[in-house]
Amino acid sequence: GAGVSQSPSNKVTEKGKDVELRCDPISGHTALYWYRQSLGQGLEFLIYFQGNSAPDKSGLPSDRFSAERTGGSVSTLTIQRTQQEDSAVYLCASSRDRAYEQYFGPGTRLTVT
C-alpha cells in the first residue's frame, strides 16, 4: 500500500516568509510525528499527535512553529517568519498505534535564504 507522503519535497523561501509543509500518513495510522533533521545530525522531535488526544507540542522550538492534524489524517506544519536556522529536512512519520513501528516519509528539504 501507499506509504507516508510529504509535500513539497523541496522548498526554498526567503527569510521572513511563512511556509506550510504537508504530511499524508498511512491510512488508519493513529499516531503522527514531526521531526527536524539538520545536515549530519540526529532526529529532533517537534510534535506528536495520537488519536483524539491533545498533541504533544513539547519539541516545538519557538512559537513560530505550529502544526495541526485534520480529521485524524493529514497534518500540516507551519513555520511563520522563517529564519535561516530553520533550514533542515522536516520528516513526518506515522504508526498504527502507540509504541509501534514508525514509517517515515521522504521529508521536505527547507532552505531559507
Partner 1 sequence: GENVEQHPSTLSVQEGDSAVIKCTYSDSASNYFPWYKQELGKRPQLIIDIRSNVGEKKDQRIAVTLNKTAKHFSLHITETQPEDSAVYFCAASESRSDKLIFGAGTRLAVHP
Interacting residues toward partner 1 by CB under 8 A? 31, 33, 41-43, 45, 48, 50, 56, 91, 98-107
Q: Which residue has the cell 513539547?
A: 58
| Separation between Cα atoms, residue 103 and residue 3, nearest integer Å | 8
Residue 31 or 67 with smaller CB distance to partner 1: 31
Residue 15 or 43 with smaller CB distance to partner 1: 43
Q: At closest approach, how far in Å is the CB of 86 from partner 1?
A: 20
| Separation between Cα atoms, residue 105 and residue 110, nearest integer Å | 15
Residue 53 or 83 with smaller CB distance to partner 1: 53
| Separation between Cα atoms, residue 19 and residue 72, nearest integer Å | 22
CB 34 within 8 A of CB 91: yes
